[in-house]
Amino acid sequence: MKKILVCAEDSLSIIRIERLLFAKNLAFDIQKSPIKKDELFRYEIIIIHSSWRLANVFSFIENIVLSKTIPVLYVTSLINIAPFTKIKDHPYFSIIEEGKLDTELPIAITLMKKFASEMEKLQTENNKIKNKEELSKLMESCKKVLINQGMTEDTAHKYILKRAMDDQISKYDSCLRIIQENTKKDID
């Protein structure tokens, strides 16, 4: 289970956020010093309080949000969206007014978690579709190579499947091997 990262320096705000996260049984880390972007993969959500002193904090947030690395909740007492014009409507970003922290933070976390989960499912589904499309293209290329050697399309298809089973490899790897073997023959 991934944690939530809380970036803040104001002790009172940290206590308030901790209390809310404890009430929801959410695991979290507190970060008072700057953090590197490549360390963020361990976290599910980042809560950044306006008290967190980081040079170019607005650029840091913008880069994270636009790269869709991790959802960011920005907590501030002064609602000023000017620094966030590029990302103010982005689904990976939300501003929470500090005065409404007790009600908005738990809701925002729940929504961000659901959104992140849905995005992950869609990404997995998208990857499956891409892999299926790649396999289909590779199978067609492999069949063409085998058809040029005198096989029918049906025989070529069965040959690819048999090679995959005999060698205990995937159809994708079977096609790659067949194409490589025949490319070597053509070169020799």
Residues 7 and 95 grouped into a single domain = yes
Separation of alpha carbons 106 and 102, rounded Å: 7
Residues 12 and 65 grouped into a single domain = yes
Separation of alpha carbons 73 and 69, rounded Å: 13
Tokens of 94: 């939300």
What is the domain-level CATH number for residue 105? 3.40.50.2300
Q: Which residue has the higher pLDDT, 10 or 188?
A: 10
What's the pLDDT at 68?
Answer: 84
What is the domain-level CATH number for residue 144? 1.10.10
Residues 41 and 97 grouped into a single domain = yes
Tokens 């002064």, residue? Answer: 78
pLDDT, tens digit, 9 for 90 and up, residues 48-76:
999 998 888 899 999 989 988 789 999 99
Residues 107 and 147 grouped into a single domain = no
What's the pLDDT at 11?
Answer: 93
Closest by Cα among 28, 76, 36, 29 to 52: 76
Q: Which residues contact 63 (CB under 8 A, 6 or more apart)?
A: 37
For residue 136, the enclosing domain spans: 127-187
Contact status, residue 61 vs residue 85, Cβ threshold 8 Å: no
Contact status, residue 98 vs residue 77, Cβ threshold 8 Å: yes
Contact status, residue 70 vs residue 45, Cβ threshold 8 Å: yes
Residues 63 and 13 grouped into a single domain = yes
Residue 96 pLDDT > 60:
yes
Using CB atoms within 10 Å of the CB of residue 10, give its burial: 0 to 12 exposed, 13 to 18 middle, 19+ buried.
middle
Number of domains forming the structure of the chain: 2
What's the pLDDT at 120?
Answer: 84
0.75 surpassed by pTM: no
Separation of alpha carbons 96 and 79, rounded Å: 8
Residues 182 and 118 grouped into a single domain = no
